A and B are shown apart, each in its own frame.
Chain A
Amino acid sequence: MSRGKIGQKGKRDAFRITEGVLWTLLTLLTATVCISVGSVSIPLEEVWRAVFGMPVSRASWESIIHWTRLPRVLCAGVMGASLSLCGAAMQGLLRNPLADGSTLGISSGAALGAALSIVLGISVPGMAAAGPAAMAMVFAFGSLMIILMLAYSMDRSLATHSIIMIGVIFTMLASGILSLLITFSGEKLKTITYWTMGSMNGKTYEQLNMMTGALVICGALLLTRGRELNAFAIGEENAMHIGVPVRRVKLQVMIAASVLIGVCVSVGGSIAFVGLIVPHMIRLCSGPNHRRLLPRSMFGGAIFLMLADLGARTVLRPTELPVGVVTSMIGAIVFIGIFVRSRKGGKGLW
């Protein structure tokens, strides 16, 4: 009872503009720090000078910032925001605190789709990144449908644990097919770890723009479904009773989440647990109301993944870890924590 109180004392339950400004500043600050730290340290003010096209003390800094760190950090930020927002939305929609692109198997389905498009050479003229992204989206949505249908046929109440179990099995299947694909594709596909653990290395502005576009469109849709998701989180039947057009909202949220996860996976591989950890933390601090939870998860996810990526490239310098290793290690612990609590009957934690 003592938990979940912060932020609920205020009269309005929505996300305020001042809070948005604070989160934006915090996100920008984190991004600046992440750009400045690395094998070559660059002072913070020089980072800003370079970003705004002003002259920088050393020419090498400018190229490092523009061609390596800036796209990488921004990609991590946008991807973290997207994955975390999707996680929060799915957890509300399915009434399942363990739901996330990676635990449900959507991410591995999307990775399979993206890899398949590269192997088969499916592409959109003029935009190299769009082919894999489109396939990843389709596969993400398809995977979600298959998983939900299987879970539904097993257990009509879509209980927390049966759906996660199907997600795990589906992930193994998709990863198996993906490994097979990689084995036979030779040089065409990058390493297995790239697709299964995710990496933020070598991202381009084209990919960044594509992800940002997806986040703006799908994010806007998800962020404005706060009330409906609250109703779903209380119970789908209850949502129907108070007048939510249940089927339409469900489809909208699922499509938006699949598109976002698909685009993210096609760019950075499947980075596990981001959508699980961040919303969970936010819920612990400020309760489950999605009108706050969704925007906070979005900013929190951006900050989290930028920092995780910073960890991935600096902790074992000069060796670089896949960022998924970092998120998985944190995520596994959080996952077990939630799982144990939900088995105990989960009194008052999220």
Chain B
Amino acid sequence: MVTTRELSVRYGTKTAVDNISFRASAGEWWMIVGPNGAGKSSLAGALTRTVPYSGEAYLNERELKSYSHREFARKVGILSQNNSNIYAFTVDEVVSLGRYAWRNGYFSGTDAEGKDRIREALEKTGLTEMRQRSMLSLSGGECQRVFLAQVMAQDPQVMILDEPANHLDLPFQKQLFELIREWLKTPGRLAITVTHDLNIAKRYGSHALLMNEGKAVGCGPVDEVMTKENLEQVYDMDIYEWMRESLEMWDK
């Protein structure tokens, strides 16, 4: 579904992503992991076409750059760390905007399918009761759920998430990732998540791309990539030992 071949991202002379190749298929949940500055977000930026890249990247065997804005938005939904809200839009207004790429012209309203998608997205994310609330009255976790609902209303085949749970409390993180896991159960869908949280990656991912200094250290099924040796090499510390110690502290 999503394939890259020797994809690189450069800012001036600095290379943020260095010749990354991978192939992600429907039904999989890819986790892009690695330490700060590894190039995770730049890679996500290239895949979402927000950052210029060199090399090749395909969606359904078609070069990413060849899609129009609307075509791309119908195929790929993106959830990032959202910044603060300034205006008092309602939950409904934000979620309905997810149908933007499916509309034809200014005067056509949302069609029946669009309305179903919006209702479904609100239901799945538990926002139906809150649909008339102002975005300014919501907590960070609720806001992020609204934007997830927007992506769901967009009805994409691929969902790309860039640190979607940053700054969220544990229950909200769990809620968010469970919702995405639920979304992935429909056949023909793919999720790609950038996260620095190794627990999340291990728990939810089916595949992982472990990056360090722009290069891929490992690429494939989570259990093969996120090994003791690979993580130790990338993070320069014994991650397993650290986690075991943490657990023991709780067990006391």
Residues of A in contact with B (beta carbons under 8 Å apart): 1, 3-5, 8-9, 12-14, 92, 95-97, 157, 160, 224, 226-227, 230-231, 233-235, 237-238, 240-246, 283, 287-289, 342, 346-350
Report whether A237 and B136 are in contact in the complex, using a CB–CB cutoff of 8 Å. no
Report whether B69 and A245 are in contact in the complex, using a CB–CB cutoff of 8 Å. yes
Complex CA distance for A112 and B226, rounded to whole angstroms = 63
Complex CA distance for A68 and B50, rounded to whole angstroms = 55
Complex CA distance for A287 and B96, rounded to whole angstroms = 16
| A-B interface pairs (CB < 8 A), number | 101
B214 at the interface (CB under 8 A from A): no
What would be 9 A-B contacts, judged by CB atoms less than 8 Å apart?
A: A8-B90, A13-B96, A238-B97, A242-B73, A242-B98, A246-B69, A348-B88, A350-B86, A350-B88
Residues of B within 8 A of A287 (CB): 88-90
Report whether A4 and B73 are in contact in the complex, using a CB–CB cutoff of 8 Å. no
Known: A1-B133, A289-B93, A348-B136. A241 touches B73 (CB 8 A): yes
Complex CA distance for A236 and B137, rounded to whole angstroms = 21
Complex CA distance for A246 and B101, rounded to whole angstroms = 13
Residues of A within 8 A of B134 (CB): 1, 3-4, 348
Complex CA distance for A1 and B98, rounded to whole angstroms = 23
B115 to chain A, nearest CB (A): 10
B83 at the interface (CB under 8 A from A): yes
Q: Which of B83, B87, B134, B147 has the most CB of A within 10 A?
A: B87
Report whether B82 and A235 are in contact in the complex, using a CB–CB cutoff of 8 Å. yes
- Say which residue of B87, B93, B132 sits within 8 Å of A350 (CB atoms): B87
Report whether B89 and A237 are in contact in the complex, using a CB–CB cutoff of 8 Å. no
Complex CA distance for A288 and B93, rounded to whole angstroms = 10
B193 at the interface (CB under 8 A from A): no
Query: With contacts A241-B80, A287-B89 known, what are 8 further pairs, Cβ within 8 A?
Result: A234-B89, A235-B83, A237-B50, A238-B82, A241-B73, A242-B100, A243-B70, A342-B86
Closest to A157 in B: B83
Report whether B136 and A347 are in contact in the complex, using a CB–CB cutoff of 8 Å. yes
Report whether A241 and B82 are in contact in the complex, using a CB–CB cutoff of 8 Å. no
Q: Which of A224, A231, A283, A346 has the most CB of B within 10 A?
A: A346
Q: Which 3 A-B pairs have the closest CB atoms?
A: A243-B73, A243-B101, A288-B87
8 Å CB contacts to A: which residues of B88-122? 88-90, 93-94, 96-98, 100-101, 103, 106, 109
B234 to chain A, nearest CB (A): 29
Closest to B83 in A: A235
Report whether B93 and A243 are in contact in the complex, using a CB–CB cutoff of 8 Å. no
B150 at the interface (CB under 8 A from A): yes
B85 at the interface (CB under 8 A from A): yes
Known: A233-B89, A349-B88. A241 touches B48 (CB 8 A): yes
Residues of A within 8 A of B80 (CB): 237, 241
Residues of A within 8 A of B88 (CB): 3-4, 283, 287-288, 348-350
Report whether A230 and B97 are in contact in the complex, using a CB–CB cutoff of 8 Å. yes
Report whether B69 and A244 are in contact in the complex, using a CB–CB cutoff of 8 Å. yes
Report whether A240 and B50 are in contact in the complex, using a CB–CB cutoff of 8 Å. yes
Complex CA distance for A4 and B73, rounded to whole angstroms = 30
B154 at the interface (CB under 8 A from A): yes
Residues of A within 8 A of B83 (CB): 157, 235, 237
B74 at the interface (CB under 8 A from A): yes
B164 at the interface (CB under 8 A from A): no
B191 at the interface (CB under 8 A from A): no
Report whether B86 and A227 are in contact in the complex, using a CB–CB cutoff of 8 Å. no
Report whether A13 and B93 are in contact in the complex, using a CB–CB cutoff of 8 Å. yes
Q: Which of A157, A241, A347, A349 has the most CB of B within 10 A?
A: A241
Report whether A241 and B77 are in contact in the complex, using a CB–CB cutoff of 8 Å. yes
Closest to B67 in A: A243
Residues of B within 8 A of A350 (CB): 86-88
- Say which residue of B69, B97, B101, B133 sits within 8 Å of A234 (CB atoms): B97
Report whether B106 and A224 are in contact in the complex, using a CB–CB cutoff of 8 Å. yes
Report whether A227 and B90 are in contact in the complex, using a CB–CB cutoff of 8 Å. no
Report whether A8 and B86 are in contact in the complex, using a CB–CB cutoff of 8 Å. no
Complex CA distance for A346 and B150, rounded to whole angstroms = 24
Closest to B80 in A: A237
Report whether B101 and A242 are in contact in the complex, using a CB–CB cutoff of 8 Å. yes
Complex CA distance for A97 and B87, rounded to whole angstroms = 8
